[in-house]
Amino acid sequence: MSAQTTPGALRILALTAVGVGLAALAAATFVLSYPGIHVLALQAGVTPRLARGYPLLIDAMLVIVLAAVLALRGADLPSKLLAWTTLLAVLAAAAAADALHAAGRRLPDHVAAVTAAVLPWVLVFLAFALLLTMLRHLRMRSRLAATRSQPARGSDDQAAPGSPAPELSALDLSEDAEPAPDDPSSDETANDPGGQVPGPREPEDPDMPVFHRMWSAPAPPEP
């Protein structure tokens, strides 16, 4: 066994040992607490056949609460508070019944009757509330995992090799196209105040004065 796998194996072995010990301790506690809760149910006027099932209600509720506490370790504070408060209430009720049985005392008849009648409904309500809390926590974790995976999936799609290049629009093509060559007639039209395009020019006589060559029509030379 390598040095890297040794800590992981020891951790798993320790967790397994703690889990087995906890299960054995819980089973022993269920057996030892059975007489006290059974006697309390008989004192409340429950029939002997139904009174045998009352300790099983407390034991089943204790298993549900322990599972909820483990499942809600990473939940928000109200969820954790609900799980731990329910666990303490169940343990306190079972311990109180055992303490009364060990001390030889009993509750008043009307208090015991009310407790035996209300206890199953209270346990069902608490178990259902814990179930809803666990489902809400699981849904929130699923949404958080999906939110974290969306940016990574988007970046992978953009960087995937062989993906087609984005198509260019007509506007992009028109912007990238080379400009058309300038028309000389358009420059002359822009420079002319009248907006008229001048016609073809006649050949100039080099013997004419510069003034006449610029502003007057050429005249034939004298004989």
Contact by Cβ (8 Å): 39, 101: yes
Residue ranges, the chain, pLDDT below 50: 1, 166, 168-181, 183-195, 197, 211-213, 215
Two structure tokens written together for 77: 């504070």
Domain ranges of the chain: 17-148
Rounded to an integer, what distance in angstroms lies between the CA atom of residue 52 and that of residue 35? 9
- In this prediction, residue 4 carries a pLDDT of 55
Rounded to an integer, what distance in angstroms lies between the CA atom of residue 36 and that of residue 93? 11
- In this prediction, residue 29 carries a pLDDT of 86
Place of tokens 């008229």: 196
The reported pTM is 0.60
pLDDT tens digits for range 14-38: 888 988 998 898 888 888 888 888 8
- In this prediction, residue 175 carries a pLDDT of 47
- In this prediction, residue 204 carries a pLDDT of 53
- In this prediction, residue 88 carries a pLDDT of 94
- In this prediction, residue 162 carries a pLDDT of 52
- In this prediction, residue 174 carries a pLDDT of 46
Residue 18, CA atoms < 13 Å, CB-side half-sphere: 6
